[in-house]
Amino acid sequence: MTVSPLRISTAMALLLLSRMSAQLGSAPIEFEVAIIHPASTARITSGASSSTRITNDRFEVRGFTLKALIKMAYRIEDYQILGGPKWFDSDPYDIDAKSPHGGTPQQIPQRLQSLLIDRFRLLLHHEARNLPAYALATTKDGPKIKRSEAGAQTGFGWGPSMIRSQGASMRDFAERLAEALHHPVFDQTGLGGLFAIDLKFAPVDPDPSDNISAPSIFEALQEQLGLKLSATKGQVDVIVIDGAEKPASN
């Protein structure tokens, strides 16, 4: 099966916007101040999970690796990051940053990009790569999902064994599946509009001690939604890490 190339990615769009701003002489979008420290030894040894706190003027993360920060800054997934030093996916950091007055949470990705370039000396470039992927399509019996009610709330609730939404497009649902499967998912359903989704499945990355009785995500899609995933390949925008340095603590 062949699929059409992905539309320009969020990461590429952000890069183009930053280049346009530079050409127009606009001031770079940066944090007013940022403090970076390696995550505390106590946090690492306790196995505490990473956390974030974002407000209009504050950006705080705990226990984030450089790879996790890149994913947040460029809004991409693991499979879209290639290369990088050995430590960038193992050494966790804590960051406390303050945005200028009038800042918004929507500007955080661009501020974080500037921070990574400045403090981690991050160097990267974009490429289009042909990667293993999945195509999302309807089964031969047709979809079982219902269209959203008027005024339904958009967005997702999700976890290791479920994906739910009162109003989601198939494109957005495919992106959520890609996060769960760690591979690109192309929407080939041909279904427009918004849908109510309630998908329950066994975790893709189960704990060996779990007693799993739920269907796999592949089985659940067919049984519960009348959709299917087929292995394919497709063009995906990826970020290639050319260089990075551990930041000096402050």
pLDDT of residue 214: 85
Lowest mean pLDDT across 59-63, 156-160, 230-234: 156-160
Strand partners, 224: none
Rounded CA gap, 97 and 167, in Å?
A: 34
Structure tokens, 158? 């999700």
pLDDT of residue 26: 56
For residue 28, what pLDDT band results from cuts at 50, 70 and 90?
confident
What's the one-letter identity of residue 185?
V
Rounded CA gap, 71 and 91, in Å?
A: 15
Q: Which residue has the higher pLDDT, 133 or 206?
A: 133
Displacement of CA 151 from its chain's centroid (Å):
26
Tell me if the pTM is above 0.85.
no
How many other CB atoms are found less than 10 A from the CB of residue 205?
7
Rounded CA gap, 97 and 99, in Å?
A: 7
The yes-or-no verdict on residue 195 having pLDDT over 90 is yes
Average pLDDT over residues 67-90: 93
Structure tokens, 58? 């504050």
Comparing CA positions, the residue from 139, 141, 137 lying closest to residue 186 is: 137
Q: Residue 1: helix, strand or coil by DSSP?
A: coil
Q: Report whether 200 contacts 224 (CB < 8 A).
A: yes
Contacts of 159 (CB under 8 A, 6+ apart): none
Instruction: State the maximum Cα–Cα separation within the chain, in Å, rounded to a whole number.
Output: 60
pLDDT of residue 150: 87
pLDDT of residue 45: 57
DSSP class of residue 223 equals I
Lowest mean pLDDT across 70-79, 83-92, 207-216: 207-216
Q: Which parts of 47-169 fold into alpha helices (H)? A: 66-74, 108-119
Average pLDDT over residues 140-150: 92
Give 116-144 pLDDT, tens digit per residue: 999 999 999 999 999 999 999 999 999 99
Comparing CA positions, the residue from 239, 248, 247 lying closest to residue 84 is: 239
Q: Report whether 200 contacts 165 (CB < 8 A).
A: no
For residue 1, what pLDDT band results from cuts at 50, 70 and 90?
very low
pLDDT of residue 199: 95
Q: What residue ranges do the domains of the chain occupy?
A: 10-128+237-243, 143-225
Average pLDDT over residues 55-76: 92
Q: Phi and psi (nearest 5°) for 241?
A: -80, 120
Displacement of CA 133 from its chain's centroid (Å):
16
The percent of the chain in helix, strand and coil, each rounded to the nearest 5, is: 30, 35, 40
Comparing CA positions, the residue from 164, 177, 161, 165 lying closest to residue 227 is: 177
The yes-or-no verdict on residue 243 having pLDDT over 60 is yes
Average pLDDT over residues 221-234: 96
- CA 126, 132, 134, 140: dihedral to nearest 10 degrees? 140
